[in-house]
Amino acid sequence: MLYQLMYSSQSTFAPSMDAMALLLDRARRQNAARGVTGVLFSVDGVFVQILEGERDVVRRLVEHIGKDPRHDGLTVVMERPIAQRVFTSWSMAWINPDASEVAAWARLDGTTGIQQVLARLQQNPARLPAVMEHIVAAIGDSAGGAGQV
C-alpha cells in the first residue's frame, strides 16, 4: 500500500549548509534504495518532512528518524494511504520556506510560528492538498538543481 506521512521534529543542532548537504545526500541515497520519495524543510529550528512509499517502509523510516539524536519531539502531523505519489521525482527534495509562507500555503494567514501552523494542519487536514501543491511548485521553481542545498 502506497503511503504518505508528514512529521515535524525539533532540531537539536543548528545545521550548517555543509551539514545539511551531507544529511540530504545520505537521505537521498537511502530513500532511493528504499523506494521512498519526499521533501524536507526546516523552519525556525523545526524539521518538517513528508515521506511517500510503502507503508511499512515509511513507518520504519520515521521510527528510525525518531531515534536520531538530531531530532527531538517527533510528531506525526498526518499519515494516510495515497493512490499516487506527489513527489514522484524526488528521493528527498529540499525547500527553505519561512513560517509565514507555510501559513499562506495552508491558507492560514495571520498564523504565527511553524508549530502553530502544523497544529492547525493537524486539526484540519483538508488544508494539506493546498500545502502539497505549493511545495511542488516551490520545488519546481528552484532554478537549476531544484531542491539542492
| 51-75 residue pLDDT tens | 999 999 999 999 999 888 888 889 9
Sheet holding 2-11, edge to edge: 71-81, 2-11, 46-54, 37-43, 93-95
Domain annotation covers residue 84? yes
Domain annotation covers residue 95? yes
Domain annotation covers residue 37? yes
Phi-psi sector, 145: left (phi>0), alpha (psi -120 to 50), beta: left
The pLDDT score that the predictor gives to residue 147 is 47
14-34 pLDDT, tens digit each: 777 888 888 899 999 999 999
- pTM greater than the 0.75 cutoff: yes
Residue range(s) defining the domain that contains residue 61: 2-141
Domain annotation covers residue 109? yes
Query: How many domains does the structure of the chain reveal?
Result: 1
CATH code, domain carrying 64: 3.30.70.100
Domain annotation covers residue 147? no
